């Protein structure tokens, strides 16, 4: 992601949130890149998330997941995930 100095100054918090989520930010002055901002060493357990965000394969605001907005409905007679796990233990 590339941004000019004026745009960066006007929206610094927004751009830092993107960097925190794993994006690399190239700062330009009159069309020439003068600096690069990237996340400080991410935790190893979520490094793959930052990599996917940086590659544009995923989007993540850095916030925790809020979960499903509505419950999942199962077809009549279908098994739940917990039922399948219990069967696999037998």
pLDDT of residue 42: 59
CA distance 83 to 63: 31
The residue-averaged pLDDT of 19-46 equals 87
CA distance 74 to 84: 14
Query: What's the whole-model pTM score?
Result: 0.48
**Which residues sit opposite 60 in a β-bridge?**
none
Q: Residue 80: is it exposed, middle or buried by C-beta count within 10 angstroms (0-12/13-18/19+)?
A: exposed
The residue-averaged pLDDT of 52-77 equals 80
pLDDT of residue 25: 94
Asked whether residue 16 carries a pLDDT value surpassing 90, the answer given is yes
Q: Are 37 and 19 in contact (CB under 8 A)?
A: yes
In this structure, the strands spanning 2-4 and 25-29 are parallel
Which domains, and CATH codes, for the chain?
1-61 (3.40.1620.10)
């Amino acid at each position: 992601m590339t941004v000019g100095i004026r745009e960066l100054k006007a929206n610094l918090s927004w751009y830092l949130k993107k960097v925190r989520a794993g994006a690399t930010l190239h700062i330009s002055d009159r069309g020439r890149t003068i600096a690069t901002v990237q996340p400080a060493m991410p935790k190893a357990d979520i490094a793959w998330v930052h990599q996917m965000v940086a590659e544009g394969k995923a989007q993540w605001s850095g916030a925790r997941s809020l979960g499903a907005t509505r419950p999942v409905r199962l077809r009549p007679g279908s098994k739940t995930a917990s039922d399948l796990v219990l069967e696999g233990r037998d």
